[in-house]
Amino acid sequence: MDVISVFIQNRPGRLSQILKEVASLKLYGFSIADAGEFGIVRLCLEEPQLAVKKLRKHDLIAHVTPAIAIRDSKLMETINIFDEKNINIDEAIYAVNLEGMSLVVLKVSDTPKAKSMLEENGIDTF
């Protein structure tokens, strides 16, 4: 599950503008990071490339980053595997909901390696 990052001015109405632009797409989860006058909204949506296209049409700075989604019950096991294999977790979005499953989305230092390590250890990724 990829993560869409949107750079926005930190003021009322900006989040609703973003969500209106992607309202036709299923929202699985999001987070907001405050950086003073600006912020970053991170979204997990179906069809991330289409979402970015919609956002950019309205002069929003948006891009897609590869990420890994795992069941939340596998978080500690995943962290232990990543520690052993020297894979850093750069960002996380918790409480993502996909078809009734509670997931954690992890942006990591090496996505292909991380997916491979998890599959080798029997952990499903989404």
Report phi then psi at 110, rounded to 5. -145, 90
Instruction: Look at the chain and report how many structural domains it folds into.
Output: 2
Inside any domain, residue 20: yes
Give the pLDDT of residue 94. 81
Alpha carbons 44 and 19: distance in angstroms, whole number: 12
What is the three-class DSSP state of 122?
A: coil
Q: What's the pLDDT score for residue 78? A: 97
pLDDT of residue 35: 76
Tens place of pLDDT for every residue, the chain, 126 residues? 899 999 998 888 888 989 999 999 999 998 998 878 899 999 999 999 999 999 999 889 999 999 999 999 999 999 999 999 999 999 898 877 888 889 999 999 999 999 999 999 999 999
Any domain includes 55: yes
Are 17 and 30 found together in one domain? yes
User: What is the per-residue pLDDT for 76?
Assistant: 96
**Which structural domain, as residue segments, surrounds residue 107?**
68-120
